[in-house]
Amino acid sequence: MGKAAGWLGMRCLTLSTGPKAGAWRRWMSVTPNVRKVEPKRDARYGALTDAHAGALEQLVGGSANVITDEEHLKAYNSCWMNKFHGQSKLVLRPRSTEQVSAVVAYCNEHRLALVPQGGNTGLVGGSVPLFDEIILSLGKMDKIESFDDISGVAVTQAGVVLETLDTFVGERGYRVPLDLGAKGSCQIGGNVATHAGGSRFVKYGSLRNSVLGMEVVTGDGTVIDSLKVLKKDNTGYDLKSLFIGSEGTLGIITQLSIACVKRPHASQVALFACESFDSVKKVLPLARTRLGETLSAIEFMDGAAVQLALKHLHHVEDPMPGEQHPFYVLVEAESAENFVVEQLMDRFVTEAFEAGLAVNGVMSQNDDQKHKMWALRESLPEAVQKSGNATFKYDVSLPMDAFYALVEDTRSRVRGQEGVHCVGWGHIGDGNLHLNLSAPSKGLSELLEPWVYEWVSKHRGSISAEHGLGQMKNHGILYSRTAPELALMRQLKQVFDPNAILNPYKMLPLV
Amino acid sequence: MGKAAGWLGMRCLTLSTGPKAGAWRRWMSVTPNVRKVEPKRDARYGALTDAHAGALEQLVGGSANVITDEEHLKAYNSCWMNKFHGQSKLVLRPRSTEQVSAVVAYCNEHRLALVPQGGNTGLVGGSVPLFDEIILSLGKMDKIESFDDISGVAVTQAGVVLETLDTFVGERGYRVPLDLGAKGSCQIGGNVATHAGGSRFVKYGSLRNSVLGMEVVTGDGTVIDSLKVLKKDNTGYDLKSLFIGSEGTLGIITQLSIACVKRPHASQVALFACESFDSVKKVLPLARTRLGETLSAIEFMDGAAVQLALKHLHHVEDPMPGEQHPFYVLVEAESAENFVVEQLMDRFVTEAFEAGLAVNGVMSQNDDQKHKMWALRESLPEAVQKSGNATFKYDVSLPMDAFYALVEDTRSRVRGQEGVHCVGWGHIGDGNLHLNLSAPSKGLSELLEPWVYEWVSKHRGSISAEHGLGQMKNHGILYSRTAPELALMRQLKQVFDPNAILNPYKMLPLV
């Protein structure tokens, strides 16, 4: 018995079941009434006149902070995937909270619709206008206000790029508890407004835990100053959590404080090949038991995704050359000390092999090797992009018993379609799957939607684990939330943004 | 350099400063307009007639689930400190969400005020009626609905006692990420409704991170089913975080799902004596650097508090007999493996002594010794209670540079008062101080209030770190929140509970 008992015990546990049906009796008891409609410009919004443009230019401090020329506007009117496009004629780049407040108050008075935009790295068109909405870019509010070396709390303007902030606190021995592929362009305000997840969620949890305070401008221009640096504060309702993940529809985040974590000095990365998804599932509780709190990432990739990356991207190296396996798991452990991650990872890897969960694997000996393993994982979106003319991306949460079945069922559904690739990867420690398809043309979407959403809803998942709803999925909110929840959300929108000028046509469904 | 550099580097960091004044320009720029008024029964609420009592009894399944006799009512009408008292004539003990919903709908229709009550272990009178409000006790909704051994997610009714839930998941290798002194009586629904903190907050963070979903009955009896078991879900506004910490004023939590963590197999506890608070402050970053993610608790006690416990409580043992020190710090590390906590703790303790931060200390050799060190820390509230006829408890968050100055300044303020004890302890890793005083009579309160609240507000702290506002501190919300925040909170109350029947006279100020 002793230590061995834990793992022997754990193996049995994989046979256990999820929540009983009883707990779900209300949720999903009926097929949700979901209707996708073509968005039309809402006539309640005023048109941007020259007088408005002039007044707004004054409010942001003159022409240097305004963009109006066609060529320059393009990047603000489109998402990086070139999938969503708007026709905004005006980008405002305020430099202070006061300017943001003045702009919002003006737009509220004149019923001008506004789209707040951070790094514009989102995947659901949340930061791109649909029509002629004015774009309010936070990029010039890029000042790190303060950092406390004892508590690790940073106070920063919303437009600071995630990587810039992480480098800044990194030089002081800390780390931003959030890491994602877009870190070089995305902005911390946008990360918070969209409740970004990423690969370290498994260790540091939600931004609702790390963000201690914020300053927000609500729909009438009111500045809500909740910019505290306290880790605990039980005085009244948690307003800041409402703004986290609200995609700029309740208010525009102008500043925030975030609790950073000590930067670990030591890390170790292992990459396993597994013969079945059942083995992948068993790696997860083993990693939790053996690596404990040092487990900092556990990422799943299917063999088809890895093969796409190796085929289309020259900078990606095959971790196990000459072999093809159906599943791979990348496991990272981090700690204050080298001996901790080395010994814990050794035991974990040994047990994974002894238990037959892994059939082959590599373990990092140096930073270069760690980087290569992560590069493989992070290259997957680009690989899919390169493998076809049209791509279809789904970011879902699923209970573990349904996790990979979605990829398999989707493959069955698209079988016989010429040139289609269907692959899966994701943050398996959080139950977050990225289902990706590529095809020669966009026509495939009819086969996939709403079929994928209905599948996820039926299996009690979320149709958006971390990407949000934006303009792409807002019609589908009832696949994951109930009608009384949606009714409350509409009332909240009314409280925070009575004239609905903030990021219209997004998040909440149009009908 | 190398590893040593981390610590040498850290020492310099203690000289750094907090946020710059600029970031705070709005908050606390004026003395808040705080007025404490004597609560009066609100005439808008109906009186409980025999007809109402009969109808409500039917709604909860008959007389077995109702309490009306004077003697039995007493425990529900008073808090455990015997400080807050109500005159409710009726306690309802529903057994299902349907019953709760029916009761709330009935009360809403007839404008009958309701007080939801869990284990009634709160410290601010939040679960005790002020007048004749009907008490809705959740204690009979005590079923653990399900547990998933792979994800560690428990789905439970609100009335399950925290310790019962922790024992249940403990038998399956997991732990509830919340631990507090009242665990044997408090209920998980009440913990969530009050956003309980406790001594493991430093490791596991806020319940807003751990609670994945909930089922809530809002003020008109609507059942909001957000009872998901997913770790990530970015589909719409985060309604559940609003209910967390709302003290039953927005809705009654009937069920919830919570992500439990792997129970660590190994732990180590050390107790240091420090000669100055400056040394205490330096222990904190050293612990974070050296123990990393294994740091599971860091608790601070001043010498005066420890002396009170040793004097008044026979079961408490002196960790360093024959010595008296001004400050003590209890540090706990936990991990999957013994060698990790043993080696990390050894290095940490050695460095703390070598750096002169600790002048004496003990380290646990077995569970009994760990228990004794924790018993000392957990005995402090009782020790204060026994040391005088009247006690005054403040639960505040403060930036580290003001942390212990509050205790010192309070001592100066009460100097010369006969028989007064003024002591401090708290969760120093979270900036959470418990300032406690005892005195021969209640008269001291005039010296202390609003002086303490004003002191905390001036130093940019929170007047309630984890205890909440309830009926004791609701008048003081503006010491820690801004007027625009309060205005939004009142609008939210209107959305969720239009007739204000849920837990009236609590959390939001009366004027």
Decide if B19 and A145 are in contact by the 8 Å CB cutoff: yes
- The CATH number given to whatever domain includes residue B212 is 3.30.465.10
Q: Is the pLDDT of residue A118 over 80?
A: yes
Domain carrying residue A117? 50-137
Choose between B22 and A370: higher pLDDT: A370
CB-nearest partner of A264 from B234, B236, B292: B292
Any domain includes B151 = yes
CB-nearest partner of B492 from A226, A237, A489: A237
Query: How confident is the model at residue A150, as a pLDDT?
Result: 84
Any domain includes A496 = no
Query: How confident is the model at residue A29, as a pLDDT?
Result: 43
What DSSP character marks residue A181? Answer: T
Domain check: are B270 and B223 in the same one? no
Residues of chain A contacting residue B16, judged by C-beta atoms under 8 Å apart: 147-150
Tell me the average pLDDT across B309-314. Answer: 96
Q: What angle do CA A111, B491, A239 make, to 5 degrees?
A: 90
Domain check: are A302 and A416 in the same one? yes
Residues of chain A contacting residue B285, judged by C-beta atoms under 8 Å apart: 149-150
Any domain includes B237 = yes
What the block records as the tokens of B153 is 């997610």
Query: In whole angstroms, what is the distance from residue A487 CA to residue A495 CA?
Result: 13
What long-range pairs does B310-318 form, CB within 8 A, spacing at least 24? B311/B383, B311/B387, B312/B382, B312/B383, B312/B386, B312/B387, B313/B379, B313/B382, B313/B383, B313/B386, B315/B375, B315/B379, B316/B375, B316/B376, B316/B379, B316/B383, B317/B372, B317/B375, B317/B376
Domain check: are B213 and B357 in the same one? no
Non-local CB neighbours of A348 within 8 Å, separated by 6+ positions: A270, A286, A287, A290, A291, A331, A333
Any domain includes A171 = yes
Q: Is the pLDDT of residue A327 over 80?
A: yes
Decide if B235 and A489 are in contact by the 8 Å CB cutoff: no
Decide if A234 and B245 are in contact by the 8 Å CB cutoff: yes
What the block records as the tokens of A260 is 């950073």
Query: In whole angstroms, what is the distance from residue A406 CA to residue A404 CA?
Result: 5
Query: In whole angstroms, what is the distance from residue B240 CA to residue B224 CA?
Result: 10
Non-local CB neighbours of B368 within 8 Å, separated by 6+ positions: none
Tell me the average pLDDT across B263-267. Answer: 92
Domain check: are B302 and B443 in the same one? yes
Domain check: are A74 and A94 in the same one? yes
CB-nearest partner of A14 from B150, B230, B337: B150
pLDDT category of residue A11 using cuts at 50, 70 and 90: very low
Decide if B208 and A203 are in contact by the 8 Å CB cutoff: no
Q: Is the pLDDT of residue A20 over 60?
A: no
Domain check: are A77 and A181 in the same one? no
Query: How confident is the model at residue A199, as a pLDDT?
Result: 80
Alpha carbon distances (Å) from B248 to A507, B4, B508: 28, 50, 12
Q: Percent of chain A having pLDDT more than 90?
A: 87
CB-nearest partner of A495 from B16, B465, B488: B488
Q: Is the pLDDT of residue B131 over 70?
A: yes
Decide if A155 and B23 are in contact by the 8 Å CB cutoff: yes
Among left, alpha and beta (phi > 0; psi -120 to 50; other), residue B247 is left
What Rg, from alpha-carbon coordinates, does chain B have? 23
Decide if A336 and B343 are in contact by the 8 Å CB cutoff: no
Any domain includes B486 = no
Q: Is the pLDDT of residue B26 over 90?
A: no
> Coil, helix or strand for A465?
coil
pLDDT category of residue A25 using cuts at 50, 70 and 90: very low
Decide if B242 and A241 are in contact by the 8 Å CB cutoff: yes
pLDDT single digits (tens) B390-422: 999 999 999 888 999 999 999 999 999 999 999
Q: Is the pLDDT of residue A2 over 70?
A: no
Query: How confident is the model at residue B18, as a pLDDT?
Result: 35
Domain check: are A249 and A154 in the same one? yes
- Burial zone of B41 (CB within 10 Å; 0-12 exposed, 13-18 middle, 19+ buried): middle
Q: How many residues does chain A have?
A: 511
Alpha carbon of A458: minimum distance to chain B alpha carbons (Å): 13
pLDDT single digits (tens) B90-101: 999 999 999 999
Q: Is the pLDDT of residue B39 over 60?
A: yes
Query: In whole angstroms, what is the distance from residue B332 CA to residue B148 CA?
Result: 28
Question: Pick from A482, A240, A488: which is nearest to B219 by CA?
Answer: A488
Domain check: are B396 and B446 in the same one? yes
- The CATH number given to whatever domain includes residue B299 is 3.30.70.2190
Question: Pick from A143, A149, A156: which is nearest to A227 by CA?
Answer: A156
pLDDT single digits (tens) B330-384: 999 999 899 999 999 999 999 999 999 999 999 998 999 999 999 999 999 999 9
Q: Is the pLDDT of residue A12 over 70?
A: no
CB-nearest partner of B462 from A233, A289, A343: A233
Q: Percent of chain A having pLDDT more than 70?
A: 94
Domain check: are A391 and A287 in the same one? yes
pLDDT single digits (tens) B474-496: 999 999 999 999 999 999 999 99
Residues of chain B contacting residue A502, judged by C-beta atoms under 8 Å apart: none
Q: How many domains does chain A have?
A: 3
Domain check: are B322 and B250 in the same one? no
| ipTM rounded to 2 decimals | 0.91
Tell me the average pLDDT across B93-120. Answer: 98
Domain check: are B249 and B277 in the same one? no
Query: How confident is the model at residue A15, as a pLDDT?
Result: 23
Which of B100, B119, B137 terminates a domain? The answer is: B137
Which of A111, A137, A163 terminates a domain? The answer is: A137
Query: How confident is the model at residue B100, as a pLDDT?
Result: 98
**In chain A, whose CA is at the least distance from the CA of B265?**
A3
Choose between B499 and A336: higher pLDDT: B499
- Per the prediction, chain A carries an average pLDDT of 91
- The CATH number given to whatever domain includes residue A127 is 3.30.43.10
- Per the prediction, chain B carries an average pLDDT of 91
Name the amino acid, one letter, at B115. Answer: V
Which of A442, A458, A474 terminates a domain? The answer is: A458
Query: How confident is the model at residue A31, as a pLDDT?
Result: 62
Name the amino acid, one letter, at A1. Answer: M
Any domain includes B24 = no
Any domain includes B8 = no
Domain check: are B158 and B127 in the same one? no
What the block records as the tokens of B129 is 């009626």
